[in-house]
Amino acid sequence: MLSIHDLHVSVGGTPILKGLTLELPAGQVHAVMGPNGAGKSTLSYALGGRPGYEVTAGSVTLDGQDLLAMDVDERAAAGLFLGFQYPVAIPGVSNLHFIRAALNAQRKARGEAELSAADLMRRAREKAKLVELPAELLKRAVNDGFSGGEKKRNEIFQMAMIEPRLAILDETDSGLDIDALRVVAGGVNALRGPDRAMLVITHYQRLLDHIVPDVVHVLVDGRIVESGDKDLALRLEREGYESARTEAQREVRA
């Protein structure tokens, strides 16, 4: 579903991703792990199309379509969802209003009819329950005054409302205590399905106890240096990223 080939991305003229290649088939969840500065957030922002993240080489396709040629909103309409590490507060717009605007825009772009208010409300109540998001937060302004855990649950709520083809979750576990982590992971697991793929980007292995990945990729210095099953995450937790890093250097020399 998602094919990333030899992706190079620079930020402010500095190369961050240096030839990243990754295949993510439908129905699978892949984890991308790596030390600070490896390029994890750059990968998610580049896929999302954030201004300032300049793709200098390589290709990315989603269901065969050239993702990099699309505007940010076109990527969303094509099925991409980006879960933010730091969700943004928008005072003055209620959560419901915001998600309705987003859904309507996406449906319009795909030539589908708008959701009725009643359908929207029904779905919102159901999905809020999924991530234990209190109903009153639906009427509050987007992420305004939300706790760290509420913001992350709100991201998964939005994902559940949007039902994307591909979800990229950028450090969804950061800043969460163990209970919040379990709730967020539960929401993510409920959305796993044969037609959906997820890329879970994380620094720590503990998230992967709850969201068990099909494949773990190790990202070091802008490239995937190793891929394996979920046990790779456990090894990294035990041995740190140093061994992967050394392997990467060996590879470069060879």
Binding site for another protein (CB under 8 A): 48-51, 71-73, 75-77, 82, 84, 87-94, 96-106, 109, 117-118, 120-121, 141, 158, 162
Residue in 197, 179, 202 with CA at minimum distance from that of residue 40: 202
Beta carbons of 132 and 180 less than 8 angstroms apart: no
Q: Which is nearer to another protein, 97 or 210 (CB)?
A: 97
- Nearest approach in angstroms of CB 197 to another protein is 17
Residue 47's Cβ-side half-sphere holds a number of Cα atoms within 13 Å equal to 30
Beta-sheet pairing, 166-170 with 80-83? parallel
**CB neighbour list of residue 24: distance below 8 Å, 6 or more residues apart:** 1, 2, 3, 30, 166, 197, 199
- Nearest approach in angstroms of CB 109 to another protein is 7
- Nearest approach in angstroms of CB 122 to another protein is 12
Residue in 88, 85, 89 with CA at minimum distance from that of residue 36: 85
Q: Which is nearer to another protein, 51 or 111 (CB)?
A: 51
Q: How far is CA 63 from the centre of its chain?
A: 17
Q: How far is CA 187 from CA 130, 132, 152, 158, in A?
A: 6, 9, 11, 11
Q: Which is nearer to another protein, 79 or 222 (CB)?
A: 79
8 phi and psi angles, rounded to 5 deg? -115, 130
- Nearest approach in angstroms of CB 203 to another protein is 21
For residues 19 and 200, give the distance between their C-alpha atoms in angstroms, rounded to a whole number: 19
Q: Which is nearer to another protein, 100 or 223 (CB)?
A: 100
- Nearest approach in angstroms of CB 102 to another protein is 4
Q: Which is nearer to another protein, 26 or 90 (CB)?
A: 90
Q: Which is nearer to another protein, 88 or 178 (CB)?
A: 88
- Nearest approach in angstroms of CB 103 to another protein is 8
